[in-house]
Structure formats: structure tokens, C-alpha cells
Structure 1
């Protein structure tokens, strides 16, 4: 019986795959990538993926590699050292790694707690939340280059990181998927008991500190998990608000003149501003819980489209189109989807 992608995505949507390979070692992963024919999907945690109801007429390679390996020289317990380098296999759980780092006293990823998915996906999307993103701590990314047929290592400066993007996201192949498949990621983290300076006002309020101040690592992680749970952004099988792909739309970056009166506006280095997709959605008339079918906006957060239990991908796309077009009609700003669409489109 063919594997259903619905059983491997956080939306719990998607038809069967024609072929499925589960790679538990780097050697198995490289062999699967090297020998794959036709279209290819490399699957991690399935948290940023929308798959069509017809499924995928290609090969799915499930990345299930494991390993968290710190460089223990210099001593990673000495706060005066320059930092600890930690190599993490692509198949490791991202939230599991964050918990591990906080437990070891490694600062730099504590505000990224509760984000579903695998470590290998984080540099592709330059995953971020609450004032942190992975580009701030990634030292290097080791990949399999599907075009050259070999292993390559990219230093941080060569990864092309931007807002929710990277060279790994941009380099797509005609046969499907990215040219570069992440094998492992090396992070440079700061040893100590305090997290990085808190850069996000909502998190600072939750911690009772000012923006720019530090707080204990464990406190930061706990506060972030609490904030995310309140928004339905921590996976819970019993809570349909978490049957989602997280934030479905990215915060748009536009000219300052395009930002509606009253909307949040964060200046960007290129002179434009980033505004809030959630604000635009809500003020265009799509409140929390909007929708009457098997797919609705989350009852906790307007950015998430949620499967209420009996949905299809077609149901999801209908609501996504309604929201996207409604925001564009109201404000002239076209929202872009954050998750990858496979075998379907908006």
C-alpha cells in the first residue's frame, strides 16, 4: 500500500506517493538522492508542506538521520570562550535540538522553541520567530549537490539568507525539489545561562524584561512555548488549531506608502517596510475561526489555515484563495504563501 503524505504532514493532507524511501543514515540518504529518477521530494517533518489530493507521482525521500555532535574544544561550559560549534543531522527534530541546546547551556536558538519540522529544513526557509532566525547562528551548511553529484559545504555568508529564504530555497531543479539537499547544519552557539538579548516586544513583556535585555535560557524557551501554544502553534494531536502548516502567509515587505494606516511597520535595510500579514487578514474581514467548512482560520491566530478533521487540500486552497484575494482587494497587497505547494497551486 502506497504511503500517504497526509500521514507525514502537520496539515494531515495529501494523497499517496508513487515511491517512498526512508533514509536513516547519511550514506542511505546520499544513495537515495543519487539514484532517484524523475521528480523528487525530500521530506523532513512535513510542517511546511501542502500536498495535492492526487498525491505525488515521484519519489519521496524521508530524511530520518540523527545526531547532535558538539565540538568540545574549546570547553563549551566556559562563558569566556568564543562559542561552541554543534553539528546537527538534517533529520533531527528542530524543537528537540532547541531543548537540547537550552539544557546544555547553549544560547542562540532558545526563542525558536516549539517550531515543528526538522533541522535540515531550517536553513532552507531561514526559519525565524520572536526576533531570532537561524541565519544568526548557522556557521555552515553541508549539502548533497544534486547537479554536481557530490557533497559541498556552504559558509554562512554563502547561503544567501534573507527573510524566510536562502539559496537552498531559490535553487530549484526542473525535475522537482531543490538542487541542494541538506545533510547537516553546524551552529555556533554562545555558552552561558542567559539567552541572547530579547529582540521581540511580545516576548520581552512575557518575560518581564525590556527589549534588548537578557533572560535565563530556560525562561525564554518556556515563555516562547507558552506564547506559541496560545496561538495554536505547538503541535497537539487533540487540538485542531495545530493541524496546520504554521503561518500560511509571510509578512509582506512593501514600500512605506503601501502600508495601510494603523498597520504595523518595521523598517527594512533596503528602505522598504515589513508589515503584518495577520493584521491585514483580520482587517480585511477574516477573523479568528473564519470559515464554515472543514478548513477554517485558526481560532487562536489568523495566520494559520487549519484542517478541522475531514478536510481535503482543495478545501484548504479555496480558503487560502479567498483570504489572499480579499486582502489584495482591501489593501492592494498580495500575500505570498509560506509553505511549499506540491501538486497544487494558488
Structure 2
């Protein structure tokens, strides 16, 4: 247990006020700590990689339980990782072991336990396609059990785990390709980078290297010396517009920027628009609002809100509102934040 820890030290956005932090290095200590805090009715904030969190400047009035369980077990056709394991370390280990499937998710910061919560995805792959099971601790009943993906209600960047506090991920189990081939390449930018055709597979190591290059070029691979990576990754999810409103939205875009090719993607509940594209076309350039601001859009990627070294949570919230409201005013689309917010509201 550590008192008065600045949570800015534990998040990739490097903002967040003070709190008491309990570091748990084993699953047993993690479960016991959370059980004890729940029994004492002390508020708990679970934190692992800290890459998808925006914590307020006042901190957290309770105990932050830092998940530091790091076990990774590679099998013949998959991997089991404890919740606190660094996600990219897990991906690298599977590729090195000759297993394919996770390579498109290389370079994503955060922990293995967060991947099913957010239904993490990138370059055409989402974890729900590969997930075999999740080990959960039910804080309400005390039960610990393995849960099948069908119970998790996956959607675009969401699951039933994202909006509830009683189910705590302890471990994840992914089924992978023992032949070492990548997932079929479905993302145009990555396929072009590899000189591949849509749906083709390549050696997982080759795809991982290409993904890391692409992500680094967008400031999406953590680097303490690069303030473009002092972020929570993509701050807004790509908005899904219901079919009934698509024509209206397209007309608003055309009225504002003229006749252009609008990048859209099919979605179960409508049509998905590119959040980064919308932000740029709404007039928010890379580096907005300018070099003197402590919170700015990344100079490499407009979808990331970044801390240039002295930003507060309030600064980032203000920037997020400006961008969100600007897109809504111009195009009639309200974008939703991807990071979990604690002690702040947008």
C-alpha cells in the first residue's frame, strides 16, 4: 500500500490526482485485496496499464488497486495471460513462439485483462474473434469462473464488462494459429504496407513488424520522449450512424467540405464513419489548438488527444469538448469518448 500517489504516474495520459494505491502482484492477493475493500465498503478503482483512463485532477477518493499479475503461458495453439500482463509483451511472445492471430494488435498499450473489456481491435482484427474464455471474479457473489465469449455481449469497442464494476477480469485465454500465419488481412492500409491482397495471410512476424511501423508513424506506440504518445490512444470511437440518418449526415458533410469521398464502413446498427476523418474535416488540424497549448491533438494523428508535458485533466476535457462539439455542430454527429473517465465528465 502506498499513500498519496499521483495517478498521473500510472496513466499514459500522465494526468490524475492523488490516491492510495494497493499493488497486487498475484491473482490471490488481487482477489483478497478487492474482497477486503468491498467488505469495508471502500471505493475501488482497478488500474493495470493505465492506457485507457482519464482521471480527474482531484484524484480518487478510495483505493486504486494496481493489477500487477504478469503471468503468460504459451500453449501449442494459444496463450493464457494474467490480467496485468503487458499486452504487447503477450503479442510478442505469441509471435516469437510461432503462433498467429494477435499480430495486428501489436503495439497497443495496456494490459491483457483490458482486452475483452474494450473488445480491443486494430487493423481489421478484434479480440472477440480469437478469445476462447475469460476468467472472472464476481465481486457480488465471490465466485471465480471461466466465462465463454458468448456471455460477454461484445460490440464495437465494448462488452458487458465495460459498464459494470462487479465482474473483474483475472485472466484471458486466446486461441491462435499454430502454423504462424496472420489473421486474414482486411485493413487496406496494412495490406498496402505489406504488398498483400485483401484476405491474404502472411507470416505473423512480418505483419507484426508492419503494424508497429504504422502505429509508430501515428504516435501510437508508447515512447516517453515523444509527447505524441502521451495519450490514451484514439480518444473517440468511430461513430455509427443509423441508416435513417446517413443521407442527412452525408449532406451535411458535402455542404461543409464539398463533394468528397467519405470513408465509411458497414456496421450492425448502421454505417460507421471515420472519427479521425471527421475531426480533420471539421477544421481541427494536427497539433490543434497550437504549440502554446499544454493539451493538443497529436501532431501525427488527429484522433489522439495528447499531454505536451504540463496538461491537467481539465485541459484535456476542455479540448475533448471543443473537438466533439465542433464535429457535432458541422456534421450532426456526436462522437463518444473511448477512454474510461474517473472524476471528470465530458
Counterpart Cα distance in 1 of 2:338 and 2:289: 20
Whether 1:296 and 2:296 are equivalent positions in the alignment is: yes
Q: Deviations over 1:68-96 (max 9, x none)?
A: 1234xxxx2xxxxxxx1321100100000
Q: Deviations over 1:39-85 (max 9, x none)?
A: 211001000000000100011100001211234xxxx2xxxxxxx13
Q: How do residues 162-201 of structure 1 correspond to structure 2 at under 5 angstroms?
A: 162-170=155-163, 172=164, 178-201=165-188
Q: 1:139 aligns with which of 132, 143, 149?
A: 132
Q: 2:283 aligns with which of 285, 302, 310?
A: 285
SS state of the match for residue 119, structure 1?
coil
Structure 2 equivalent of residue 27 of structure 1: 28
Q: Verify the 8 A CA contact 1:127 1:164 in the aligned structure 2.
A: yes
Whether 1:230 and 2:217 are equivalent positions in the alignment is: yes
Q: 2:228 aligns with which of 226, 238, 241?
A: 241
Structure 1 equivalent of residue 258 of structure 2: none
- TM-score normalised per structure 2: 0.92
Structure 1 equivalent of residue 53 of structure 2: 49
Q: How do residues 1-346 of structure 1 correspond to structure 2 at under 5 angstroms?
A: 1-17=3-19, 19-36=20-37, 37-71=41-75, 76=76, 84-170=77-163, 172=164, 178-255=165-242, 256-257=246-247, 258-259=249-250, 260-261=253-254, 262-270=261-269, 272-292=270-290, 293-346=293-346
- In the alignment, structure 1 segments of 5+ residues that lack a partner are 77-83, 173-177
Between 29-38 and 221-230, the greater mean CA deviation after superposition: 29-38
Counterpart Cα distance in 2 of 1:229 and 1:66: 25
Counterpart Cα distance in 2 of 1:222 and 1:30: 37
Counterpart Cα distance in 2 of 1:104 and 1:185: 18
Q: How many residues align?
A: 327
- TM-score normalised per structure 1: 0.92
Q: Verify the 8 A CA contact 1:263 1:280 in the aligned structure 2.
A: no
Counterpart Cα distance in 1 of 2:125 and 2:87: 14
SS state of the match for residue 247, structure 1?
coil
What value does the CA root-mean-square deviation take over the aligned residues? 1.1
